A and B are shown apart, each in its own frame.
Chain A
Amino acid sequence: MWGALEGSIVLWAWMLSLYTLLLILRHRENARDLYPWALSVMLGVLSFFVLVMTLPAPPFERLTPIPANGRGLNPLLEDTGMITHPVALYLGFTGFTVPFAFAMAALATGRLSDAWIATTRRWTIVAWYFLSLGLLIGGWWSYHVLGWGGYWAWDPVENAAFMPWLTGTAFLHSVMIQERRRMLKLWNVGLVVMTFALTLFGTFLTRSGVIASVHAFTQGTIGVFFLSFLALVVLLALALLAFRWDDLRGQGSLDSVISRESTFLLNNVMLVAAAFTVFFGTVFPLVSEALRGVKVSVGAPFFNQVNVPLFLALIFLMGVGPLIAWRRASVDNLKRNFLWPVLIGIVSAAVFFALGIRSTLAVLTFALTMFVAATVALDLVRATRARLRMQERLIPAVGGLLLRHNRRYGGFLVHVGILVIAVGVTGSHAWSVQTETTLKTGETATLAGYSFRFDGLRASEESNHFKVTGAFTVTNGTTRAVTLLPAKKFYPQEQSPIAYVDYRLGLVDDLYLVLGDFARDGSQATVKMQVNRLVSWIWIGGLILTLGAALAILPDRKPAR
């Protein structure tokens, strides 16, 4: 349905028209002055995609010569994750067109007051929600289908989706500064333009075949179209920015380095820096090949090395930002808000070390996580107490708090989700183990305290493929034995077999088996065994994060008088 280049352009255009319709329904009445401009921008972008659809990439063209039998979908994509992933991701991508349209409308009309910011903010959370969902589903697909045991490879296609996520996240934070202190106007417009440009760039990257990557199932010649449109968008935006330069100068100024403003500013710098490093690593091979004629690749080590310190700093700021005072934080304020969390962080670092965790990175991440979790808990406890004093009961008090201040607590919930994901990512990097071995029927291999017994091979004919399944019994002495059935599928239309992973998810240990080669007489099989640690935390954290974002999207409830 939304396969290949042409299908994705159709999906883009389709989603974008959906957003345009929503924008018409929602803002025709309440944003009179911005609405015509915003709508024009939306339609302008939409017409570009329709143009791409009619000229270089028509989706419904006839196939010649007519193949005897359609090739069908790449079997790797036959998965529920792969049905929902592109939809969520593209809802995220196209969603960022709305903030861009309003930013352009504000620039064009000169109404740079905070009206466009207020309008844009919820739209941005909607786009952000879908983009996050898309990234998470993509990771889940990669983990349980591709059979390499990972969820994120810093592949250009993943980076393409991650960059607008980073700048979009930055915007969601800096927008609060503008709402509260009327600062950073220029920066906010810049972030919106950057995010939108990155979604276009991401589509270009994935859909023009410019980077040959494992994800690039499609190729095309529409690169020129996309790059020209991208250049046009950026130039127009810059021209408008220059035109309104004087109006965009902020009214407030930073009072102190130790204040909420500068914490948020630092958060923005870190997020944009992360986006920049990802961008750099993604396009470096292209630039190198184009300018020097030397083909190089920038692998995961680069991205991990550069981004880990940035993300750790971001987690720290995540704890500081929501509680620190505006303008200038007094020593008293710092002590009141951070004494306990810092102590909890330090104590938990000692506890983790005492528990035998020797990876510095893991101890640091977990301690930071505890620190941030403590700040969230502190805030929640204080606010609940205040309500309890007003004779409310506990459950209605907490519920009312979450709903009344849904933006604040939605944000907190997203932060908690990020923390849980951080624990999962750190744990899976530090403690996952794997090995590969060839077993005869009845033989047993051991890994990380688990024993894997090979019980034999079985072949079967399925509706559209042949399947060879290996049976493995896994025990670790304490839990009940688990049978895992990894397989190889042979599709008549594919040149090679496709591995079918079998796994058992757990809160701590995931068992993960990939069938490799096997003897044709069924006597032995090569199998890749993995015990992946804490990976489930990533999916749980993702769930919390999307719930938080959904809470933040809910309409504001003004306290009833």
Chain B
Amino acid sequence: MKRHAKFLIGGAVIAAALAYMIYAGVTQSVVYFVTPSELSAAPVTGKAYRLGGMVEKGSMRWEPRSLDLSFRLSDGKATIPVRHRGTPPDLFGEGRGAVVEGSWAGDGYFKATTILAKHSEDYQAPDPASAERHKEMIKTLSGDTR
């Protein structure tokens, strides 16, 4: 019986440690997902959020030399200005959905550390106009000005 008790106590200690680790881990690293209206209603400075919305047309500014990217995320009701340092991901673009992770900076903008662009699942027929644009791009890049 004594041996049995030893194993029971050992098991309880392990279970308690595990429960604590999970609890601590979750409270520290859970990130709340908010929409622009939810965030603008009650922004908490410095708290980590995931903010999801549509990148407003005409709002994107990209400065390659300084790597400064800024744009506005909207859900139709509210708009949040977002700033980020670094190249936007391939799927990112105006008029498309995007989720950014970061925090509310306090002085009126959302400071994003990561941008997760959303991939549209809808089928799109190949666009002949875009193929033309790509051909054009190849011409300029290869210095072919004929």
Cβ–Cβ contact A306 & B50, under 8 A: no
Residues of A within 8 A of B96 (CB): 495
Cβ–Cβ contact B64 & A306, under 8 A: no
Interface locus among A86-94, A237-245, A496-504 = A496-504
CA distance A411 to B28 in the complex (A): 37
Cβ–Cβ contact B7 & A257, under 8 A: yes
Cβ–Cβ contact B26 & A468, under 8 A: no
Q: A305-B25, A460-B138 are in contact. Are A294 and B32 (CB under 8 A)?
A: yes
Cβ–Cβ contact B67 & A437, under 8 A: yes
CA distance A555 to B141 in the complex (A): 61
Cβ–Cβ contact A305 & B29, under 8 A: yes
Cβ–Cβ contact A466 & B33, under 8 A: no
Q: A67-B123, A436-B87 are in contact. Are A459 and B137 (CB under 8 A)?
A: yes
> Given B30, B90, B91, B93, which contacts A297 in the complex, CB threshold below 8 Å?
B30
- Contact digits for A295-335, partner B, Cβ 8 Å, 1 yes 0 no: 11111011001100100000000000000000000000000
Cβ–Cβ contact B142 & A459, under 8 A: yes
The number of inter-chain residue pairs (CB within 8 angstroms) is 141
Q: Is the CB of B57 closer than 8 A to any CB of chain A? A: no
Q: Is the CB of B146 closer than 8 A to any CB of chain A? A: no
Q: How far is the CB of A486 from chain B (nearest CB, A)?
A: 12
In chain A, positions 267-314 with a C-beta closer than 8 Å to chain B are 269, 273, 276-277, 280-281, 284, 294-299, 301-302, 305-306, 309
Q: Is the CB of B41 closer than 8 A to any CB of chain A? A: no
- Contact digits for A360-404, partner B, Cβ 8 Å, 1 yes 0 no: 000000000000000000000000000000000000000000000
Interface residues of B (CB under 8 A from A): 3, 6-7, 10-11, 14, 18, 21-22, 24-26, 28-33, 50, 62, 64-65, 67, 86-88, 90-93, 96, 116-117, 120-121, 123-128, 130-131, 134-135, 137-138, 140-143
Write 27 A-B pairs (CB below 8 A) sorted by A numbering.
A68-B125, A69-B125, A257-B10, A273-B18, A277-B21, A295-B32, A297-B50, A298-B31, A302-B26, A302-B29, A305-B24, A466-B135, A466-B138, A468-B138, A468-B141, A490-B134, A492-B128, A492-B130, A496-B90, A496-B91, A496-B117, A517-B62, A517-B88, A522-B140, A524-B64, A526-B67, A528-B87
**Closest 6 pairs between A and B when the two form their complex, measured CB to CB:** A516-B87, A295-B33, A459-B141, A459-B138, A302-B29, A492-B126
